Amino acid sequence: MDIIQSLEALAALGQKTRLEVFRLLVKAGADGMHAGEIAEALNVRQNTMSANLAVLLRAGLIRNEREGRTIRYFADMEGVRGLLGFLMEDCCGGNPEMCQPVLDALACEC
């Protein structure tokens, strides 16, 4: 991930509803959630939710899959890893082994 993509991802997460959506999808894991389920869980109107989901999609933080007439959304863990990798790229004054405990804590099998 480069600086422009990172800025877009951080800007996407800098809004309350989008951050809540992202955290909800991380929690949902591999099952993901339909757009209507997300809107209902967060008590957000469907059209407002669609706009927020589009921002998160463009930022590379979530992905979607069509299931017939509905769309299921998932946290895009590769996008998250890319953002975290960019943020920590030059960490610890050139001693990346010092950051390994943080990276290990963030690693998951999702």
Torsion angle, CA of 21/23/27/29, rounded to 10 degrees?
70
pLDDT at 110 > cutoff 60: no
CB 64 within 8 A of CB 74: yes
CB 62 within 8 A of CB 25: yes
Strands 33-34 and 62-67 come out as unpaired
Domain parsing of the chain, residue ranges = 3-106
Q: How confident is the model at residue 109 (pLDDT cuts 50, 70, 90)?
A: low
- Cα–Cα distance between 61 and 55 in angstroms, integer? 9
Whole-prediction pTM: 0.86
Taking only the tens place, the pLDDT of each residue in 42-93 is: 999 999 999 999 999 999 999 999 999 999 999 999 999 889 888 887 777 7
The CATH number of the structural domain formed by 3-106 is 1.10.10.10
What three-state secondary structure class fits 106?
A: helix
16-36: average pLDDT = 97
